[in-house]
Each structure stands twice: as structure tokens, then as C-alpha cells.
Amino acid sequence: MEGFVYQCSPSRVVFGQGALAQLPDEVARLGAHRALVLTTPEQRGLGERVAALLGERAAGVHDQAVMHVPIEAARAARAEAQRLGADCYVAVGGGSTIGLGKAIALGSAQPILAVPTTYAGSEATPIYGITEDRLKTTGRDPRVLPRTVLYDPELTLTLPAAISAASGMNALAHAVEALYAQDANPIISLMAEEAIRALAGALPAVVRNPVDIDARSRALHGAWLAGVCLGNVGMALHHKLCHTLGGTFNLPHAQTHAAMLPHTAHYNHAAAPQALLRAARALGGEQAADAGPLLFRLNQALGIPAALAEVGMPEAGLDEAATLACTNPYYNPRPIELAAIRALLDRAWRGEMPA
Ligand SMILES: NC(=O)c1ccc[n+]([C@@H]2O[C@H](COP(=O)([O-])OP(=O)(O)OC[C@H]3O[C@@H](n4cnc5c(N)ncnc54)[C@H](O)[C@@H]3O)[C@@H](O)[C@H]2O)c1
């Protein structure tokens, strides 16, 4: 057995149907008295419900979270937090809202309590991202890791089927890559395998019936495990490629992950056979080479667009995307070769089965 390093993230997790009711106690547990509730304009109603639940411990509701945390949004939120004398941030929403909380905590070091309502997994990571002049900078900082996470599956019932499916595949990508990360370790690999099994089992049921609370609970459980994977081990080709595609071509985050995952998994299957075998088994397959095609079929079953072309990728940008992916060398089990990456992108752009 190979040696490894394992360090556990210091985060408290409260999971269960109706867990939101424990929010006031959890805020008190953090020693906070003035919690600023963060959310998006679309989820303002939920933000107000959360503030009402907090009563005197609520400092206000700031509903200006947007995708990729533009620096202006971060500055405005920091100013609002200061104006209201906030000593804690309750981020209620998806990765964008939690990302806004992280942008504030990066400067203030005040605690974040996250209440995730998608499957993106940001609540379980010390990774932040801020976009300035169309360039997204990401980094890791322990100050931005939410101290407490409340997972309440009831809050995901309103997430539309199509967004749930793509968000779930985004989570699945964290788990698949964790299995072959450079710093993979046995504990995170256990979580990754279980995340893949839970998500692949639950997502079709979520899409069939978005208010199936049992399926929602299993999907959220998988998303938590996948988020822990993302937060604890480094990522490889898949995340780097999606970061490039999202940043340079402004493609939608979750849908891009979903369309790319079958191809990146297949690209690595021969170089990381044990890892991809575990992924394939969790998806119902028998060998490492099954992982990519099974992920492709899962996308199909979930009604997710298979082709990058369908999520807005211009064909004329494929050369640049391949070059960008090969310019900054980073860890990947199989060497990142320009011709092979260009061919991978071509298949992904057309929505063809990985080969
Ligand atoms: N730092 C990290 O570790 C990390 C991890 C994953 C994603 N991210 C970032 O998160 C962002 C994407 O997050 P996302 O995919 O969760 O999308 P999102 O947070 O942008 O949410 C998408 C939309 O869905 C709405 N929504 C969220 N939950 C809902 C619900 N339950 N019911 C109805 N509507 C709901 C939101 O208000 C928003 O309008 C990206 O910027 C990505 O880079 C960061």
C-alpha cells in the first residue's frame, strides 16, 4: 500500500429533513449575535424566512449573490456587512451565494454558516473564487471554510429538475477526480466512491420527481461527500479543463462539468485503472473503461445536453481551449497532450460517446 497524508477539515455538519430549524442554535453555538443572511435575488423569500427564524440574531438580508463572485459584488457585500455590524454570515443558496460569503470571510475571518440548496459542494471546501476584469482567481484559505453546514433536503425541493441534474453531475465530477488526485488517500476515496453511488442512484429519481424527499436526501448526502472530496484533495484534468472553458468562454458551470465528465474520465481510465474501476463499479460497471460511457449514459438518462456546442461553446474556440489546457502543466495521471486533448474536446463539442 502506498503512503498517504490525511487531514480532516474542521467543519461541523448537521444533516436531515427539517435541519433548518436548528439554525438559531447553530448560530448561537458560533458565539455570533448579528448574522447577515446572504442569498440571490431569486431566493430572497428563503433569505427572509431564514432571517425571521433567527429573530434578534439576524442583522439583515443581503440578496446580491451572483455567479462567479464579481469583485464589485464582494465589495458591496463587505460594505453592507460592516454597515450592519455583522459578526457571522449565513449563506443560504448554491455555490454563488456561498462564494459571496467566502469573499467576505476572506477579509474579515468571521465565521460562515452555510445552508446549501444545490449540489455544487462549495460549503465543504476552503476554496474561494473572485472575478475581476473577466478573470476568475481562485485560492485556498482556511478562513473561508464554513464552520457549520446545515443540510436540509427540504430546501432542495424547489431546485428545477434540469438544474438539479447538472448540479448533481458537477458533484459527481468532484468525486470521480478525487479517486485519481495526486494526493488521493483511502478515506477520501471511500467518500468519493460512496458519493458516486449515492448521486448516480438518486439523480434519476430526482429528475423523475423533483419533490421526492427520499431521493433529494440521498442526492444531498452524495453532494456533501463529493464536496468533502473537492475540499480535501487536489483536482486534475477535468476541473482544470472546466475552469478554462467556464472562465474563457463563459460557459455555464454545472452543465459544462456534466458534458465534460464522461470524456475526462475516459481520457484517464488506462492511466489510473484502479481509480476508474472504483468509479465504474459505483456506476454499475465492471471495468475502468466502463466509467466514461456510463457517465455519458447517465447524462442522457438525466436529459443533460451531451454536447459542449449545446451549452454555448463556439467551435472556433476549441483550438484555443486545447492550447490553454496544455499551457499550464498540472498533475494528471495521463500526460496532457495537445492532440489528444483537442480530440477529446472535439468529441465533447459534438456530444459523441467518449472513445
Ligand atoms: N469554491 C468551491 O469550492 C466551489 C465548488 C463548486 C462550485 N463553486 C462555484 O459555485 C458557482 C455555481 O454554483 P451553483 O451551481 O450551486 O449555482 P448558483 O449558486 O449560481 O445557483 C443557480 C441558481 O439557482 C438558484 N437556486 C439555488 N438553489 C435553489 C433552490 N433550491 N431552489 C430554487 N432555486 C435555487 C439560485 O438562486 C441561482 O439563481 C460557480 O461560480 C462555481 O465556480 C465553487
Instruction: Tell me, using a 6 A CB cutoff, whether residue 166 lines ligand 1.
Output: no
Three-class SS of the chain: CCCCCCCCCCCEEEECCCHHHHHHHHHHHCCCCCEEEECCCCCHHHHHHHHHHHHHHEEEEECCCCCCCEHHHHHHHHHHHHHHCCCEEEEEECHHHHHHHHHHHHHHCCCEEEEECCCCCHHHCCEEEEEECCEEEEEECHHHCCCEEEECHHHHCCCCHHHHHHHHHHHHHHHHHHHCCCCCCHHHHHHHHHHHHHHHHHHHHHHHCCCCHHHHHHHHHHHHHHHHHHHHCCCCHHHHHHHHHHHHHCCCHHHHHHHHHHHHHHHHCCCCHHHHHHHHHHCCCCCHHHHHHHHHHHHHHCCCCCCHHHHCCCHHHHHHHHHHHHHCCCCCCCCCCHHHHHHHHHHHHHCCCCC
Q: What is the tens place of the pLDDT at every residue in 295-324?
A: 999 999 999 999 999 999 999 999 999 998
User: How big is the CA angle at 224 (ends 56 and 18), to the nearest 5 degrees?
Assistant: 45
Grid cell 440548496 in the structure block, residue: 117
Instruction: Tell me, using a 6 A CB cutoff, whether residue 111 lines ligand 1.
Output: no
Out of 104-108, 194-198, 279-283, least confident range: 104-108
Q: Distance from the CA of 338 to the center of ligand 1, in angstroms?
A: 32
Q: Distance from the CA of 293 to the center of ligand 1, in angstroms?
A: 27
273 falls in which pLDDT band (50, 70, 90)?
very high
Contacts of 157 (CB under 8 A, 6+ apart): 210, 211, 213, 216
Query: Residue of the nearest CA to atom 9 in ligand 1?
Result: 95
Position 166 scores a pLDDT of 97
Q: From CA 217, how far away is CA 48, in angstroms rounded?
A: 24
Q: From CA 167, how far away is CA 159, in angstroms rounded?
A: 10
Q: What is the tens place of the pLDDT at every residue in 220-240?
A: 999 999 999 999 999 999 998
Fold topology of 161-350? Dehydroquinate synthase-like, alpha domain (1.20.1090)
Q: Distance from the CA of 120 to the center of ligand 1, in angstroms?
A: 6
Instruction: Tell me, using a 6 A CB cutoff, whether residue 229 lines ligand 1.
Output: no
Residue 325 phi, psi dihedral angles, 5° rounding: -65, -25
Query: Residue of the nearest CA to atom 2 in ligand 1?
Result: 122
Q: What is the tens place of the pLDDT at every residue in 106-143?
A: 988 899 999 999 999 999 999 999 988 877 788 999 99
Residues linked to residue 137 through DSSP beta bridges, in sequence order: 130
Of 20, 43, 61, 115, best ligand 1 pocket probe by most atoms within 8 Å of the beta carbon:
43
Pick the CATH number of 12-156 from 2.40.50.140, 3.40.50.800, 3.20.20.70, 3.40.50.1970: 3.40.50.1970
Position 247 scores a pLDDT of 79
Considering the chain, what is the average pLDDT of its residues?
A: 95
- 90, three cell numbers: 449565513
- Domain coordinates in residue numbering, the chain: 12-156, 161-350
Q: Distance from the CA of 355 to the center of ligand 1, in angstroms?
A: 31
Ligand 1 atom closest to the Cα of residue 136 is: 43
Query: Residue of the nearest CA to atom 12 in ligand 1?
Result: 95
Instruction: Tell me, using a 6 A CB cutoff, whether residue 333 lines ligand 1.
Output: no
Q: What is the mean pLDDT of residues 12-40?
A: 98
Position 183 scores a pLDDT of 94
| pLDDT surpassing 80 at residue 328 | no
Of 9, 49, 69, 118, best ligand 1 pocket probe by most atoms within 8 Å of the beta carbon:
118
Q: From CA 113, how far away is CA 33, in angstroms rounded?
A: 13
Q: Distance from the CA of 102 to the center of ligand 1, in angstroms?
A: 13
| pLDDT surpassing 90 at residue 8 | no
Q: What is the tens place of the pLDDT at every residue in 135-189?
A: 778 899 999 999 999 999 999 999 999 999 999 999 999 999 999 999 999 999 9
| pLDDT surpassing 80 at residue 279 | yes
Instruction: Tell me, using a 6 A CB cutoff, whether residue 39 lines ligand 1.
Output: no
Of 123, 149, 163, best ligand 1 pocket probe by most atoms within 8 Å of the beta carbon:
163
